[in-house]
Structure 1
Amino acid sequence: MSGVDSVRYATTLGTNALIEHKGPRMGMLVTAGYEATVPLSRARGYGEGLDNLGQQDMPNAQRPDPLILPHMIRGVRERVDFEGRLVMPLDENDVRLQIRELVDRGAQIIVVALVNSVVSPAHEQRIEEIILEEYPSHLLGAIPVILSHQVAGRKGEYVRATSAIVDGYLHSTMYHALSALEQNLRSHSYEKPMLVIHNSGGMAQLNSTDALQTIHSGPVSGIGASEHLALQAMLGNVVATDMGGTSYDIGIVVEGGIKHYDFNPVIDRWLVSVPMVHLVTLGAGGGSIASYDRMYKTVQCGPESAGSDPGPACYDRGGMRATVTDADLLLGYLDPENYAGGSIPLNPRRSKSVIEDTLCDELDCSVIDAALLIREKVDDNMANGLFTELRARGYDPEDFTMLAYGGNGPLHCCGIAKNLNIDRILAPPFSSVFSAVGAGNMHQLHIHEQSLYMVLYDSNSRHIFDDYERFNAIVAELRERGKRDLLRQGVAPEDIRHSLELDMRYGNQLVQTTAVIPQHEVHGPADVLAIISQFSNDYGKRFGEGSQAPEAGIRINTIRVASYVHHQTVQFEDIKPLPKGERQAPPAPSSRRNCYFVGHQGSRDTPVWNRADVKPGVEIPGPAIIASEVTTFLVDPGWTFVAAKQGASWFLRNE
């Protein structure tokens, strides 16, 4: 390991701990009078993390099991108003009493979430000092203390409290597991700090990582790789799609460098307040279980999955239910002898048996017709998810290039894209491990933000913002916090860069638009008007020119600074497809198979190539199969496969 340049780790430890509900007994200190905020969960706790049907089924709604028990939440006498002014000083004797009661009740970690602590954190910081005074490490061992203003910098008492609770719940699991991994690396001669991938799209050393930041870090790495590839190859707008065995992850990367974040994502069943790269996960993958939908008398696919153990029925490991992979096998797309490089032999008889038992009698159809219905249904589900995601954010799918990666992405991409009228698909280099490529391309990054109410243009008084010192002071403080984070990790000060983003809206609109602002200070009306102009341009690109509404007023809701340092990245050569006149004919196929395609009658004689034999510049018209050890490229009729450099593969339709 001494020869390795960098170890970067994305983990599902936190996700698993939440699913298994394994965590420490926690205590919580809140402002007196707010003890019921978390248990009440804004009266919406039953619905967070459920699908639309589950959220609408109120009679059968069940709240998630609490991570912190109500009797372990204690109020302390203090109060700060919304502008940070002191209303009631902290009663330190009361704090000490509540801490002792929590420890006596078995608290192994203490979360502190006081009202308005994001604008004045002094009381939370003092409570931490008191805990260390009462229970120093030499007396009782270190009791982790989680301060809510350090976990989430935005207003909203409930979501900030749940963010701190989830972070505290995962703290011990993540700390011990990651520390053990770092020690193992040390014992194998890797002396550099290990870097942990964050769901914000960056990474940091273990000493600068919150447990909450590791959730969904793996799929987010794929979106980071998509952004890097789109920028280097000048692809414009791309939609990243990662199809594996159990899920279909969707991310959006638009031209211009504006990232889409979820600022109140739902993690498991909990609404939290952390900036996480926007990611939509659908229950659609190779292992998605196909069943008969008695209401609509058709096939239903997912969200339930066979997983990897026992897996699809064709794995011959005990799976008893039909899956998407079983359908793909019977339709001729997969080679039963060389699936996964020959490491997993497939049994077509098992696939045929489970599809007959599950669907054929109910649908009164043949096995192949049932398999085609499965294929069509799962592709429709993924296309609908993509369409909803893009349209809800003001984008036209036809303006995007689809990136198809993951083990099953290149196998299903043509059917999905056809439903959306997308005519360009790129299966990127290293498509089966593209998320790992993204982790290798990430930069050390920390995001700090502050919620506020800052009016840039008051439509009633026609007044333009002029409190320049306030704006500059907030930005300077956020930059300094990010700088301290990176300096703590040994980064040279001259290598640190900053990016300023403002969440803005017209009047009281619910929709916020993020504007990336190149100038980080304002000193006069011209600078304010430049910010307004940037916001207007971004809003018009997203929702259509002429949709701007400055007459309603313009305000800033959040100021966000991303502090980062660039690392060496994987450089992609020109991977765009050659012009049509410069492409080459393919070599002789290695074999041929009879395959069935949605919308086409009967089987089609389909040539099969090995991906290693298809050199850059080769063009293969569909139908065709290009097989590799890690994925299968399926070229539907009407599509053309074009090999590019570095293992990139294009699917082009109706050239």
Structure 2
Amino acid sequence: MKQVSVDIGGTFTDCFLVWDDIYLETKALTTHHNLALGFMDALEQACNELGKDIRTVLSQLDSVRYATTLGTNALIERKGPKIGLLTTAGYESQVPLSRGRGYGDGLTPLEQQDLPAARRPEPIVPIPMIAGVRERIDYKGEIVMPLDEEHLRKQIRLLVDRGAQAFVIGLMNSVVNPVHERRVEEIILEEYPTHMLGAIPVILSHQVAERKGEYVRITSAILDAYLHDQMYHALSSLEMTLKEYGYNKPMLVVHNIGGMAQLNSTHALQTIHSGPTAGINAAEHLSEEFEVGHLVAMDMGGTSCDIGIVVGGGIRFYDFNPVIDRWLVSVPMLHLGIIGAGGGSIARYDKTLKHIEVGPASAGSDPGPACFDRGGTNPTVTDADLILGYLDPGYYAEGHISLNKKRAEFAIREAICEELDIDVVEAARQIKKKVDTNMAHAIFKELGVKGYDPKNFTLLAYGGNGPLHCCGIAKVLEMEKILIPPFSPIFSAVGAGIMNLVNIHEKSVFMNIYDSNTRSLFSEFDCFNQYVKELEEAGKEELLRQGIPAEAIQHRLELDMRYGNQLTQTSVISPVNRLNNMSDVLQLVEAFSVNYGERFGEGSQQPEAGIRINTIRVLSYVELDRVKFKKPVEGPAKTPKPHSQRKCYFVDIEGPVLTNVYRTQTIEPGSVIEGPALVESPRTTYLIELGWKLVMGEQNSAWIVRTRKDSLGEKMELESLSKN
């Protein structure tokens, strides 16, 4: 197996090169103006370590997998094309009205409660760029009013005259019968063929979102059209760059659903959070390989912290109506909790609340934290970590980035110390404590709303800053175990190298598996099976178009189910792909009951309220070769010799502590290190705080386990350490 996978973050571009049995990890600063530059920089580093030139490597690769969030900046900066929306006449106001609650989408609960200050987002499609189309299809898919083609042509010309650079077609009930949307596309191309308007995007809403719900479906299509131009040109330029260096295969792009597809089978909205999604995919694979059950995946990078949940058994948590920027959409994505807490998160003094706040604003990669010495003046989490002694100024990013401690001290002193009248070290302590607490609260919320207790989970800490802050976070959550995965600094890029080819097709339905009024079980087997067959055929056709042989394609059936009229619905992996008799229905009911009980507690099931299916979802996929993780070794505990010592400061210890510093290159698997201690690898640092111990594994993986101590013993050790 020879492949390259890359994950582009807000600060760093991570690259993972697999060359048969050789695994190489590299990082480069993200080049936002041209993402291909950062990608090629990271790849060239890996090729140099391999001892081969970049052309030789690219010409022999099986695949290049790409995870990107390039669309995020386009939304933030509002740098997309002018879009024209064609919708059913009489419904032109549904997007501007946004169900009467659009002001709240994308805001925190506290901001949503502040109605006087509520502001709607700036519209992506202003009202003059919306035109009605005379047509009507009812909820059954039957044509009530034929498409008025002459009137349509006038509306198309009107939007073009007003400057439309992309078209979105969002007609009523098109997910049931898309015939009118398809005809509108044909007429647009008749009126303005490619030699007149060029490659103007025409986005059909039923192809972007396949579920009912007109507002969220059309909003999904609008965002897709808005991001299409930037994604197409950025990824196409990267594909052309790869071809120039000898790579002639299609590039694979990671999707938010936890799979990937070729660039020509990818629409822009599917890539919004593809980097963090790849990390969740790697966490699921690690859970199987290491036989670890419940995991909280925490990817703390330079700009943000992404949180995901892995519970095993193939169960995944989706956002069925996620909010992107300020817009509610109807494209399923693996659920992620994203907070502005990374190494580049800016710390500041909040004069209203009179305490230190961290994030969500970030210094990014340019100029970056103050200690990067690239012009940044704002204090960040990385600056605080440097002052506390956790980072080696000459070994950060394997020495490629030299850290300037004086710059960090100056930035923190100017922004925080003068306001609170404290010294720089105390300010750095408070910054670390604040960011650790913020992330712990976010994890607690993610688990709590799904019915889980953090104490029953293992914290999976990765990303450039995950291993550095994991002990502080786990302590707040009262967790007992932390797992640092193999290749932790670039774990999301590794996840892109583990993914299968996947696509999802789904259909909104309303089916009573158990009707509480008539006390009868579902019996319309032919209807259910026909829906599943149609979705399987759609998925199969998509993969065949990418050159996949039919015999390699597999399908998995998922159902969104709930009790009665509950708002909470659960995604259940169906034990059977067809319902043929009552025994199959009872198996499905049992699977739903078990899943519900595990999440919300045994006994919380309510079958007496009825059991419903809201969505039928088919995952069509092709299994590919995967990266092999090496399990932790077993044997007698070893105590390595420290590489050096330096003074560090800890949140719960007064004064400096002379701390042992180890290097991963000299630590044998099975070695045990008691905290407080630091373990440095070329691209990250593991911080083992007091009351924890680290057990080193293969591929730089490690278990960090809480050590049991009574309060008196811990107090005496704190006093002893502070004297050092």
TM-score by length of 1: 0.96
Which among 566, 583, 606 is matched to residue 623 of structure 2?
Answer: 566
Partners of 1:469 and 1:216 in 2: CA distance: 37
CA deviation profile, 1:603-646 (whole Å, cap 9, x unmatched):
22211111110110100000111112201111001110111112
Q: Report the counterpart of residue 279 of structure 2 in structure 1.
A: 222
TM-aligned CA deviation for residue 431 of structure 1: 0.9
Higher mean Cα deviation, 406-415 or 165-174? 165-174
Partners of 2:253 and 2:358 in 1: CA distance: 35
Which among 492, 498, 513 is matched to residue 435 of structure 1?
Answer: 492
The within-5 A match list for 1:575-614 is: 575=632, 578=634, 582-586=636-640, 588-614=641-667
Is 1:90 aligned with 2:147? yes
Task: Give the AA of the match of 2:231.
Answer: M
Q: Report the counterpart of residue 246 of structure 2 in structure 1.
A: 189
Partners of 1:609 and 1:438 in 2: CA distance: 27
For 2:338, what is the secondary structure of its paired residue? strand
Q: Report the counterpart of residue 7 of structure 1 in structure 2.
A: 64
Assess, with a 3 A threshold, how the Cα gap between structure 1 residues 339 and 471 changes in structure 2: closer, same or farther.
same
Partners of 2:569 and 2:593 in 1: CA distance: 12
TM-aligned CA deviation for residue 530 of structure 1: 1.4
Partners of 1:317 and 1:175 in 2: CA distance: 31
Is 1:238 aligned with 2:295? yes
Which among 11, 18, 21 is matched to residue 78 of structure 2?
Answer: 21
Task: Give the AA of the match of 1:623.
Answer: P
Q: Report the counterpart of residue 464 of structure 2 in structure 1.
A: 407
Partners of 2:253 and 2:179 in 1: CA distance: 30
CA deviation profile, 1:112-144 (whole Å, cap 9, x unmatched):
111111112122122222223333334544432
Q: Report the counterpart of residue 202 of structure 2 in structure 1.
A: 145
Assess, with a 3 A threshold, how the Cα gap between structure 1 residues 314 and 424 changes in structure 2: closer, same or farther.
same
Partners of 1:72 and 1:171 in 2: CA distance: 18
Which among 317, 326, 329 is matched to residue 272 of structure 1?
Answer: 329
* 1:499–1:518 Cα contact (<8 Å) kept: no
Q: Report the counterpart of residue 31 of structure 1 in structure 2.
A: 88
* 1:167–1:212 Cα contact (<8 Å) kept: yes
CA deviation profile, 1:273-321 (whole Å, cap 9, x unmatched):
1011111111111122222233443222122222222222222333333
Unaligned runs of 5+ in 1: none
Task: Give the AA of the match of 2:705.
Answer: L
The within-5 A match list for 1:300-339 is: 300-339=357-396
Higher mean Cα deviation, 136-145 or 495-504? 136-145
Partners of 1:360 and 1:17 in 2: CA distance: 36
Partners of 2:288 and 2:196 in 1: CA distance: 54
Higher mean Cα deviation, 235-244 or 38-47? 38-47
Task: Give the AA of the match of 1:585.
Answer: T
Is 1:484 aligned with 2:541? yes
TM-aligned CA deviation for residue 471 of structure 1: 0.3
For 1:642, what is the secondary structure of its paired residue? strand
Partners of 1:200 and 1:118 in 2: CA distance: 20
Is 1:250 aligned with 2:250? no
* 2:371–2:407 Cα contact (<8 Å) kept: yes
CA deviation profile, 1:369-393 (whole Å, cap 9, x unmatched):
2221111111101100000111111
For 2:595, what is the secondary structure of its paired residue? helix
Assess, with a 3 A threshold, how the Cα gap between structure 1 residues 601 and 460 changes in structure 2: closer, same or farther.
same
Assess, with a 3 A threshold, how the Cα gap between structure 1 residues 569 and 529 changes in structure 2: closer, same or farther.
same
For 1:447, what is the secondary structure of its paired residue? strand
Partners of 1:186 and 1:340 in 2: CA distance: 30
TM-aligned CA deviation for residue 246 of structure 1: 1.7
Assess, with a 3 A threshold, how the Cα gap between structure 1 residues 114 and 643 changes in structure 2: closer, same or farther.
same
Partners of 1:41 and 1:352 in 2: CA distance: 47
Partners of 2:252 and 2:135 in 1: CA distance: 39
The within-5 A match list for 1:91-490 is: 91-138=148-195, 140-490=197-547
CA deviation profile, 1:329-349 (whole Å, cap 9, x unmatched):
121111122222222222222
Q: Report the counterpart of residue 60 of structure 1 in structure 2.
A: 117
Assess, with a 3 A threshold, how the Cα gap between structure 1 residues 347 and 137 changes in structure 2: closer, same or farther.
closer
Assess, with a 3 A threshold, how the Cα gap between structure 1 residues 650 and 564 changes in structure 2: closer, same or farther.
same
Q: Report the counterpart of residue 526 of structure 1 in structure 2.
A: 583
For 1:22, what is the secondary structure of its paired residue? coil
Task: Give the AA of the match of 2:637.
Answer: R
Q: Report the counterpart of residue 556 of structure 1 in structure 2.
A: 613
TM-aligned CA deviation for residue 475 of structure 1: 0.4
Partners of 2:526 and 2:136 in 1: CA distance: 27
Q: Report the counterpart of residue 5 of structure 2 in structure 1.
A: none
Higher mean Cα deviation, 612-621 or 169-178? 169-178
TM-aligned CA deviation for residue 152 of structure 1: 0.2
Task: Give the AA of the match of 1:270.
Answer: W
Partners of 1:231 and 1:271 in 2: CA distance: 34
Which among 487, 496, 500 is matched to residue 557 of structure 2?
Answer: 500
Partners of 2:350 and 2:243 in 1: CA distance: 54
Q: Report the counterpart of residue 42 of structure 1 in structure 2.
A: 99
TM-aligned CA deviation for residue 81 of structure 1: 2.0
Partners of 2:160 and 2:351 in 1: CA distance: 54
Partners of 1:367 and 1:183 in 2: CA distance: 49
Partners of 1:310 and 1:356 in 2: CA distance: 19
Assess, with a 3 A threshold, how the Cα gap between structure 1 residues 361 and 171 changes in structure 2: closer, same or farther.
closer
Task: Give the AA of the match of 2:304.
Answer: S
Task: Give the AA of the match of 2:587.
Answer: A
CA deviation profile, 1:127-170 (whole Å, cap 9, x unmatched):
22222333333454443221111100111111000000011112
CA deviation profile, 1:217-264 (whole Å, cap 9, x unmatched):
111111111111111111111111011122111011112111111111
Higher mean Cα deviation, 247-256 or 170-179? 170-179
TM-aligned CA deviation for residue 101 of structure 1: 2.0
For 1:42, what is the secondary structure of its paired residue? helix
Assess, with a 3 A threshold, how the Cα gap between structure 1 residues 178 and 532 changes in structure 2: closer, same or farther.
same
For 1:63, what is the secondary structure of its paired residue? coil
Root-mean-square deviation over aligned CA pairs: 1.6
CA deviation profile, 1:9-37 (whole Å, cap 9, x unmatched):
12232222222212222211111110001
